Amino acid sequence: MMTNKVLKVLIILSLVAAVALSLVGRAGKENNLHSSLSALLIISGFVCGIMSFHTKYSKDFLLPCFMILFIHYIGGNTILNTISLQGMELGESFSGLYKFIVAFTMVVCLKEIFYALRD
């Protein structure tokens, strides 16, 4: 299945972009690379969500997604910034993954709602 291969590549690229966010640093006026990587993560989240329409296991991804959203809201970003390594902002990497997961979760939840309404 070509869709599964493309999904795997997009997810791997999203993880690389999230790690790159930790190396780029915090967002600022002069930091265009940070904005570009964030936009890439959001767009790839939407695309992965749309591509998962034809898989029967797309609902199985929702529990880990909601767990990461919960960790973000209870302060996971702050905790990761506290334990950051020299020259790496781990909180930025987590916020990048958060953006990807929010976009993916929105699309998958909408798909499930429309499928439920259709039945």
- pLDDT confidence of residue 81: 66
Per-residue pLDDT, 3: 67
Please write the tens of the pLDDT for every residue from 15-59.
788 777 777 766 666 667 777 888 888 888 888 877 777 666 666
Check if the beta carbon of residue 61 is closer than 8 Å to that of residue 108.
Answer: yes
Mean pLDDT of the chain: 75
Task: Give the whole-angstrom CA distance, residue 84 versus residue 88.
Answer: 6
Model confidence at 119, in pLDDT bands (50, 70, 90)? Answer: low
Is-contact 104 43, C-beta < 8 A?
no
